[in-house]
């Protein structure tokens, strides 16, 4: 297995080959990454052709956070094949950017041209409430990290290192999602490293910067997907009101509970969006 830090694209190709062998599917068309508490929504996407532990594919560290399952499902969606990651790893677990985006790079190596990223997020904008899904229109990467930093010469898979992020989240896919569910609103997602939740002062700063949502994932995966030419659709589930905007204390168990309570509805929403955005 090639090393992630020395040749991340060769490592992704090796993981994609292992996925094809274990699922019996020569390629996949769409990738879905499920965020904290989203895993139960996968059941609504359809019957799994196969479910593979990520540890069998090489390059994937074990998620250590509740609400994330270390497995990927291969699911038939009409005439397309989707790979659904039931969890992800994060920078705050001590992982490198290469590890955080290995799933997305594996998906593109497996043939995916569309990547759907989901997450649990704190709502900053006044009209956002817990349990509400929000399309991500743009992002603020405040992690201080990039999956493109330190790539060895010649290891960029033929793509320019200086990636255009004028449209991180595809307008075409967002329009298709809203055609499926017209009530979906949009927002700008800001990512910090965590794992601590933000202070009220940090939330005021983020609001001033134009953020509507805040979380600890997604942005590096979006950069990696765009670098490889995949279209990206982002969907946040508002699981709490951000710090200082309500009297309620923030707790990860509440985040997971909101995800569980919304799982069936989110699964139906995901299935309808994926049917539309191909």
Angle 196-31-40 (CA atoms, 0-180°, nearest 5)?
60
Asked if the bond preceding 10 is cis, omega within 30° of 0, the reply is no
Residues 6-21: tens digit of each pLDDT: 789 999 999 999 999 9
- Higher pLDDT: 250 or 76? It is 76
Instruction: Just list the catalytic residues.
Output: 36, 68, 90, 92-93, 120, 216-217, 240, 252
Candidate CATH numbers 3.90.76.10, 3.40.50.300, 3.40.50.1580, 3.30.497.10; the one for domain 8-150+165-276? 3.40.50.1580
Q: What is the pLDDT of residue 263?
A: 72
- CA 4, 6, 7, 8 torsion: positive or negative? positive
Put simply, whether the predicted model's pTM sits higher than 0.85 gets the answer yes
Q: What is the pLDDT of residue 46?
A: 84
For 52, half-sphere exposure in the C-beta direction (CA atoms, 13 angstrom radius) is 24
Q: What is the pLDDT of residue 231?
A: 97
Q: How confident is the model at residue 156 (pLDDT cuts 50, 70, 90)?
A: low
| pLDDT of 203 over the 80 cut | yes
Q: What is the pLDDT of residue 264?
A: 72
């Amino acid at each position: 297995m090639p090393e992630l830090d020395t040749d991340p694209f060769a490592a992704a190709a090796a993981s994609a080959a292992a996925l094809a062998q274990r699922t019996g599917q020569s390629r996949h068309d769409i990738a879905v990454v499920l965020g904290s508490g989203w895993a139960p929504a996968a059941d609504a996407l359809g019957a799994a052709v196969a479910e593979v532990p990520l540890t069998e594919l090489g390059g994937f560290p074990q998620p250590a956070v509740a609400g994330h399952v270390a497995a990927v499902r291969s699911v038939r969606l009409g005439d397309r094949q989707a790979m659904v990651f039931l969890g992800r790893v994060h920078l705050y677990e001590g992982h490198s950017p290469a590890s955080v985006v290995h799933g997305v790079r594996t998906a593109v190596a497996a043939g995916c041209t569309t990547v759907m990223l989901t997450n649990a997020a704190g709502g900053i904008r006044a009209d956002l409430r817990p349990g509400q899904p929000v399309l991500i229109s743009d992002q603020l990467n405040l992690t201080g990290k990039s999956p493109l930093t330190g790539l060895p010469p010649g290891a960029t898979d033929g793509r320019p290192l200086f990636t255009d992020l004028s449209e991180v989240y595809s307008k075409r896919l967002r329009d298709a999602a809203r055609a499926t569910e017209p009530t979906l609103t949009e927002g700008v997602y800001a990512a910090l490293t965590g794992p601590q939740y933000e202070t009220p002062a940090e939330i005021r700063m983020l609001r001033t910067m134009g953020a509507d949502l805040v979380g600890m994932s997604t942005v590096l995966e979006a950069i990696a997907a765009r670098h490889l030419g995949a279209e990206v659709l982002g969907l946040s589930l508002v699981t709490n009101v951000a710090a200082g905007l309500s009297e309620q204390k923030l707790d990860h168990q509440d985040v997971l509970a909101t995800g569980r309570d919304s799982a069936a509805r989110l699964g139906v929403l995901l299935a309808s969006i994926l049917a539309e955005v191909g």
